Amino acid sequence: MIEKTLSIIKPDAVERELGDSIKKIFLNNGLNISKSKKVKITKQEASEFYKVHETKPFYEELCAYLSSGPIIVMILEGENAILKNREIMGATNPKDAAEGTIRKLYGISIDKNSVHGSDSLDNATKEINFFFKN
Ligand code: CMP
pLDDT of residue 91: 98
Ligand 1 contacts CB of residue 60 (under 6 A): no
List C-alpha distances in Å: 39 to 36, 83, 105.
10, 25, 24
pLDDT of residue 134: 64
SS3 category, 75: strand
Measure the CA–CA gap between 80 and 106, rounded to whole angstroms.
24
| pLDDT averaged per 10 residues in sequence order, the chain, 134 residues | 98 98 98 98 98 97 98 98 98 98 98 98 97 86
pTM, 2 dp:
0.97
Taken in order 128, 9, 86, 46, the sign of the CA dihedral is: negative
Ligand 1 contacts CB of residue 110 (under 6 A): yes
Domains of the chain by start residue, with CATH: 2-40+70-131 (3.30.70.141)
Centre of ligand 1 to C-alpha 63, Å, is: 10
pLDDT of residue 133: 86
Centre of ligand 1 to C-alpha 110, Å, is: 6
Closest CA to 5 of 80, 68, 71, 81: 81
